[in-house]
Structure 1
Amino acid sequence: MGRGRRRLRLLLAVLVTAAVVVPLTAAARPGIPAPAPAHLAPLTAATLDEAYAANRANAALASRTAAAHGDSHRAAADREMAAPSRRLLAFDGRGEGRATEVFGDLAHADRVAVLIPGSDTSLDTYGRFRAGASALYERLAHEHGGSRTAVVAWLGYTTPATVSTTVLTPTRAEEAAPRLGEFLRELRAVTGPGAQVSLLCHSYGSVVCGRSAARLDVDDIVLLGSPGTGADTAAGLHTRARVWAARGADDWVANVPHVRADLFGTTVGFGTDPVSPAFGARVFGAGDGGHSDYFSPGSVSLANLARIVLGETTEVTRV
């Protein structure tokens, strides 16, 4: 009981600090004008190339708009998204921005990994999120001969800032959950019902997956560096998917209080630690990495993630 109270006091201290810091940091970044997302035909295997081209064109226009607004950093980020090699299922350059990018031949993949990012992920920081998706795809290609696998980087929601009040509450996750559900339904229209889909949820992204799990048609849900899901147990997610969890030895999220409390009508915290025996997930090895290292090339974590996506579950190193 004493430990629970201490953790709750620490959580409240973080919340108070964030309430002071966030208004100052948020005000420093002005809104970024951009065109509305491209109008697309319903997503199918036959319309993929059309969607990719339309979203690249939209990113190019967003780049020019940001440059005219005097934001060279965002203009450069949007310009990279518009490169001919990029396969964008969705792009929205407004505000913090949203994008969904494909690695591999999605229409013919029988194994698909969908990455859900955590806090501080936006078009301005998208490069690091993309690097993780690319590293996973390269690992899958190496293990699986480069065919019949695809990776999707889904930045389909406005992520919270790491130092903010929103990162301690499920509000952003609740907003994201229906969007993720709709995207996965669209994904099934492209891949067909036989494809095995794994959802890889990093940090606050695991809260999004927790809020969505009961409504998602996926085969695996993987919680990486998770502060909690809002559920007390893996069974409490009410999903048919296998539920996995991992945390690197140097991940600071281990020090986050795994508590949940209702304060002033708002839920703060996300409850049970997903790597604890009490939660009941399949806990696997993530090596010595930190919070941003789960997709690092050559890592124990990346090797295990590839095995999960490929269905080689008996090869996953457990802890």
Structure 2
Amino acid sequence: MAPLARGDRRAPAPVRPRRRRRTGRLRRTLLAALVTAAVAVPVAGAARPAEVPAPAPPGIGRLTSAEPTALAGELAARYAANREALRAAEGTADSHGARRRAASLREMAAPERQFLSFDGRDGGRSAEVVGDLARAERIAVLVPGADTGLDSYGRLRAGAVALQKALQQGAYARTAVIAWLGYRTPGTGSAASLTPGRAEQAAPALRSLVQELSAVRPGARITLLGHSYGSVVCALAATRTPVAAVVLYGSPGTGFDTAADLRTTASVWAGRATGDWVAEVPHVRVPLPGGTELGFGTDPVDPRFGARRFAAGAGGHSDYLVPGSPSLRNLARIVDGQEPDRA
């Protein structure tokens, strides 16, 4: 092509719409790669356990009594029914050759364990009480993140026990912690862990549990504590839910731009340990076809989010409930209604 003569005002060729669409797709792809790499690399090799069949659980109605003695009777009956359901699921898992699942269920069915609910199907759902729920004045609901399931349930249980012990050292001895595995958690680094779909499915069930607890323990202070992807679940469930506090820790984001967007009267707290790899997750929200998004947006510990920040120590992503840690001490203080150490 001949060079333009001086004074030639020929307009440059217009940018074609197809080229703009390709640029937008490229940008979304690059952002997706960033998010995937940040989440997947620290836990490379993690995999979901194979599906294991389980019998349908018995039909159990909602708790109804707000009088402690009557409520204690209701809870005892429910714990017994779920213990039988756990034993039945253990037998099915064993006959299926799922030895790890069977061993975990056998531990969960121990006589001293207290399950509000249990369903071994579709990866498993459960809610376990640590403490005396019938007389609790402080109730904490732990919501786990990715890669938490029946095969690895011991980690969630250990965290609940540690938090209950920390609470009993505070001003209120009447406390209970609920380890809530009420949804099918995504695998770390999977597509499901980068989008809000699983959290959107889980939030109504968590909200229902809190409403049930509030009805039978109307004077109790209830706190939601969401770890990692569980913080996305808690943020979605917090809207118009009767909780005193929502705690987001080790969070990749919540899908909301600010704490005010949660539309809750609860105090919203956020904390992240200095050794937590989740700090490297890009805080983006990229629209995807079908109305969903990739990524969870604003970092909850960013001042622009507007949460109250508590000191979480120097641990890693899985160390927030380690006995004796600063993070555990401050989580217990928040559940107790006290002021934690601030970040």
Q: What TM-score do the two structures reach when normalised by structure 2?
A: 0.85
CA contact (8 A) 1:96 1:124 kept: no
Q: Cα distance, 1:96 vs. partner?
A: 1.4
Q: Unaligned regions of 5+ residues in structure 1, if any?
A: none
Equivalents in 2 of 1:29, 1:181: separation in Å?
Answer: 27
**Aligned: 1:98 with 2:125:** yes
Q: Match of 1:215, SS?
A: coil
Equivalents in 2 of 1:56, 1:281: separation in Å?
Answer: 39
**Aligned: 1:60 with 2:87:** yes
Equivalents in 1 of 2:325, 2:268: separation in Å?
Answer: 21
CA contact (8 A) 1:106 1:190 kept: no
Q: Unaligned regions of 5+ residues in structure 2, if any?
A: 1-25, 65-70
The letter of the residue matching 1:12 is A
CA contact (8 A) 1:227 1:256 kept: yes
**Aligned: 1:134 with 2:155:** no
Equivalents in 1 of 2:276, 2:36: separation in Å?
Answer: 21
The letter of the residue matching 1:83 is A
Deviations 1:1-22 (A, max 9, x none): xxxx999724335559999xxx
2:311 to 285, 292, 306: 285
1:162 to 188, 208, 214: 188
CA gap 1:270/1:251 in 2 versus in 1, 3 angstroms: same
CA gap 1:16/1:101 in 2 versus in 1, 3 angstroms: same
Deviations 1:122-141 (A, max 9, x none): 10111101111110001111
Equivalents in 1 of 2:159, 2:310: separation in Å?
Answer: 19
- Give the match for residue 53 of structure 2: 33
Equivalents in 1 of 2:259, 2:295: separation in Å?
Answer: 17
Q: Cα distance, 1:212 vs. partner?
A: 1.5
CA gap 1:25/1:143 in 2 versus in 1, 3 angstroms: closer
The letter of the residue matching 2:335 is V
Deviations 1:140-197 (A, max 9, x none): 112246x311111110001000020000000000000111111111112332x11100
Equivalents in 2 of 1:35, 1:92: separation in Å?
Answer: 8
* C-alpha RMSD of matched pairs (Å): 2.2
- Give the match for residue 176 of structure 1: 202
Length, aligned pairs only: 306
- Give the match for residue 76 of structure 1: 103
CA contact (8 A) 1:203 1:227 kept: yes
CA gap 1:211/1:8 in 2 versus in 1, 3 angstroms: farther
Q: What TM-score do the two structures reach when normalised by structure 1?
A: 0.91
**Aligned: 1:48 with 2:75:** yes
2:322 to 289, 296, 318: 296
The letter of the residue matching 1:154 is W
Choose 1 or 2 for highest CA Rg: 2
- Give the match for residue 109 of structure 1: 136
Deviations 1:46-88 (A, max 9, x none): 4110000000110011101111111111111111111000000
2:331 to 286, 299, 305: 305
Equivalents in 2 of 1:189, 1:51: separation in Å?
Answer: 17
1:233 to 250, 258, 261: 258
What percentage of aligned pairs have identical amino acids?
58
Q: Cα distance, 1:258 vs. partner?
A: 0.6
Q: Cα distance, 1:25 vs. partner?
A: 8.1
CA gap 1:17/1:290 in 2 versus in 1, 3 angstroms: closer
The letter of the residue matching 1:174 is E
